[in-house]
Structures are given as structure tokens and as C-alpha cells.
């Protein structure tokens, strides 16, 4: 099976094109206390249909080591108190933020929440230094997606929010594929 991976970026926060507001109230909150159990729940529930497997073998300490890093943030969308989706921002490298994981729980797709969550996630990526004193200003926000990640909706959402493709790779899926392309 052939897998295509698209790498997208923004190099200016003015490039964000906000989505329309969802048709129902959505609260988006930063999960400020590192919680391996909660992030694993989000990861497995959102990624279950998209073959996200690279973190399935992680133990609690490995999750905690990731989540406790300065500049690593999890933003969660809630609909009437229920988690609807999440975005993990990896701002651990100077001057850039990777949208490391992003997606909705299956019950919340197709409701206009994904574009709204992505808009907020991009804004939080760009203003991450405001929450991290001494951090270098952000010059670039980037993400990758592949043919296994809810296509064509995922790629289209990234592009509608103002991210542009800077690289495309196509390769055969190997038997040990983990759901994430090599970086």
C-alpha cells in the first residue's frame, strides 16, 4: 500500500484563516497538569481509526517525560463537558512549534469543531512564548498528515486554516509501519 505524507507550515501568524464558529458551544482549554492517562485516552480514542500506534507501547513514565517538557502543551475541546478533540503542541525546539497530534473523537466529526479547534491550536502555537518566559519567538508552525489520517478532510482543514504544503513524500507502507512517518 502506498502512503503519501504532506508536510505543511505557516511562517506568519497573520496567515491563520479562522474557521466559522461551530454550531454548538465548544470550550477549548489547556490541560495544564501533565496526565499520561488522559493524553493516552485522547491519543487512542482519536487515533484508533487512523492507525496511530507509535505510542501504544509507552509506559506511564515515557508519557510523563513527554508531557512535562517545557513548551509541550495539550489543548482539549469540550462539548457540554465531554472531550471532543485535542491538539498537542510541541514547542520544545527554539523558534518552532509542531502540531504533533490533532484530531476529534469519532462522535464529534462533521460538526464544524475541527476547524475551530485547529484555529485555536494555531493561535496557541504562535503565542506559546507568552506562556513560556524566555522562549524564543516562534518563526514557524508545522504539521504532517498522511493518507491514513482522515483524508481528505484532514489535509483540507489544514490548508483552509492557512497552512501550506512544503514537502510531499510517497512511499510503500512497510510491515512495521507505526502510523507516523519518519521525520
* Domain extent listing, the chain: 2-148+164-172
Place of cell 458551544: 25
Chain segment 45-66, per-residue pLDDT in tens: 999 888 888 999 999 999 999 9
Query: Residue 125 — φ and ψ, nearest 5°?
Result: -65, -45
What pLDDT does 149 receive?
75
What pLDDT does 181 receive?
40
Q: What is the CATH number of domain 2-148+164-172?
A: 3.40.630.30
Distance from first CA to last CA of the chain, Å, rounded? Answer: 20
Report the SS3 class of residue 146. strand
Query: What average pLDDT score do residues 114-128 get?
Result: 98
Q: Could you give the residue ranges of the DSSP H alpha helices within the chain?
A: 36-47, 60-67, 113-126, 128-131, 153-160
Q: Residue 8 pLDDT more than 50? A: yes
- Check: pTM over 0.85? Answer yes or no: yes
**CA-CA distance, 54 to 70, in Å (whole number)?**
22
In 3-state terms, the chain is what percent helix, strand and coil (to 5)? 30, 30, 40
What pLDDT does 151 receive?
60
> Among candidates 140, 45, 20, 50, which has minimal Cα distance to 90?
140
The percentage of residues in the chain with a pLDDT greater than 90, rounded to a whole number, is 80
Chain segment 70-116, per-residue pLDDT in tens: 999 999 999 999 999 999 999 999 999 999 999 999 999 999 999 99
What pLDDT does 85 receive?
97
Q: If you average pLDDT over every residue of the chain, what do you get? A: 92
Q: Yes or no: say if 22 and 104 are a contact pair by the CB < 8 Å rule.
A: no
Amino acid at each position: 500500500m502506498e502512503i503519501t505524507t504532506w508536510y505543511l507550515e505557516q511562517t506568519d501568524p497573520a496567515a491563520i484563516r479562522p474557521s466559522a464558529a461551530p454550531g454548538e458551544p465548544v470550550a477549548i482549554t489547556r490541560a495544564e497538569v501533565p496526565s499520561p492517562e488522559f493524553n493516552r485516552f485522547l491519543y487512542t480514542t482519536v487515533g484508533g481509526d487512523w492507525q496511530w500506534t507509535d505510542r501504544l507501547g509507552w509506559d506511564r513514565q515515557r508519557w510523563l517525560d513527554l508531557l512535562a517538557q517545557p513548551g509541550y502543551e495539550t489543548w482539549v475541546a469540550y462539548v457540554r463537558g465531554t472531550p471532543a478533540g485535542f491538539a498537542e503542541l510541541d514547542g520544545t525546539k527554539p523558534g518552532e512549534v509542531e502540531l504533533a497530534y490533532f484530531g476529534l473523537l469519532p462522535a464529534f466529526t462533521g460538526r464544524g469543531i475541527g476547524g475551530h479547534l485547529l484555529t485555536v491550536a494555531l493561535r496557541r502555537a504562535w503565542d506559546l512564548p507568552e506562556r513560556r518566559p524566555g522562549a524564543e519567538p516562534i518563526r514557524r508552525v508545522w504539521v504532517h498528515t498522511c493518507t491514513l489520517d482522515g483524508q481528505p478532510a484532514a489535509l483540507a482543514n489544514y490548508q483552509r486554516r492557512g497552512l501550506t504544503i512544503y514537502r510531499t513524500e510517497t512511499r510503500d507502507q512497510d510491515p512495521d509501519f507505526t502510523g507516523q512517518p519518519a521525520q
